[in-house]
Amino acid sequence: MRFLLDAEQKEFGRTLDRMLTASGTPQAVRAWARGEYGPGLALWQRVADAGVFGLAAPEAYGGFGPLPAELAVAFVELGRHCVPGPLAETVAATVLLAHLGGTGPAREWVPRVCAGRARVTLTLPGGGPYALDAEAADAVFTVTGSGLLSLSPGHGPVRPSVDPARRPARPAGGGTLLASGPAVRAAAALAADWAAFATAAQALGAGLALLDRTVAYARRRTQFGAPIGSFQAVKHRLADAFTGLEFARPLVFGAAVALAAGSPTARAEVAAAKAASCDAAYTAARTALQVHGAIGYTAEYDLSLWIGKARALRSAWGGPAECRARALELFAQGSG
């Protein structure tokens, strides 16, 4: 057993971190929130060039995967840097189409998605009715509960999200039917697991960013003649936020190992990771807001970008109750 990232995986995370730090993501996020996608799409291309969108797709379709541990490393960084766009949806689309295989939509879309030349989003059964960032996408896929995979002809109005950089819209009905049947349902279920998994890693990254920024603020901000981080009431909230994130991380990588192995418990492992990391990220968000005080409650201050995301990611790809119901299966086989 070696339940640790290797040197190459760690370096991959550091490389992404450096690249995103240099990219000025908050400006791209704010532009994206206004529906100005240019800076965000430039960032998107850099993420694609780093290989991130090929991590769930097999080599046959232009990817490098499936490499869920690397995907988790990448999505922690995407979350940490608040990168906008249909990130988990892109992962899910590559899994869905590649799993269906063949020479049709998989051949047409997956290599271009991996290379960053096409942006896609989707809806899946059980994943909510909204296609995230449909307006910025070249294709919107839908899968119905009865197993019909279609290319949607468009989308409805963009709805506001508590994370302004997320722009959900309902796919338009009808469109081109690409595939149907039990194979579509099975591929869609797997794709939804990957979407939840990517979202868990992204939430963990968002939580880590919220904690880092808030610790820095608590060291700097002085009241009553002392840095507020020296007060136990503040320190202990930050300690709890840290502990929550610290113990969400092994669940995210445990889910990665289960997905890589095709384990029968993968869905439960993903659900546990999603529940824990979204809880930890939201706790970090509440702590961040409270410790910053009024300045944290402004849209102008960049902290708001992560606070909204931590809330929105909880509801995406399986809310807390749904994830908990699935996670029960982890220890369902009795003792031993």
Whether residue 69 contacts residue 99, with contact meaning beta carbons closer than 8 Å, is answered with: no
> From the CB of 331, what's the least distance to another protein, in Å?
5
Q: Which residues bind another protein (CB under 8 A)?
A: 1-6, 9, 69, 215, 218-219, 226-227, 229-232, 234-236, 238-240, 242-243, 246-248, 250-251, 253-254, 256-257, 261, 269, 272, 275-276, 320-321, 324-325, 327-328, 330-332, 334-336
For another protein, the closer CB: 50 or 275: 275
The DSSP secondary structure of 172-192, one letter per residue, reads PS--EEEEESHHHHHHHHHHH
The conformational region for residue 65 under phi > 0 = left, psi -120 to 50 = alpha, else beta, is beta
Select 45 or 315, whichever has its Cβ closest to another protein: 315
Angle between helices 68-80 and 7-21 (to 10 degrees): 30
**DSSP codes joined into one string, 249-279:** HHHHHHHHHHHHHT-TTHHHHHHHHHHHHHH
Least distance from C-beta 332 to another protein, angstroms?
6
Comparing CB distances to another protein, the nearer of 218 and 316 is 218
The least distance separating another protein from the CB of residue 250, rounded to whole angstroms, comes to 4
Closest CA to 306 of 232, 245, 222: 245
Least separation in angstroms between residue 61's CB and another protein is 24
CB of 182 or CB of 336, closer to another protein: 336
Shortest separation between residue 128's beta carbon and another protein, angstroms:
19
Q: Are 77 and 20 in contact (CB under 8 A)?
A: yes
Closer by beta carbon to another protein, 116 or else 244: 244
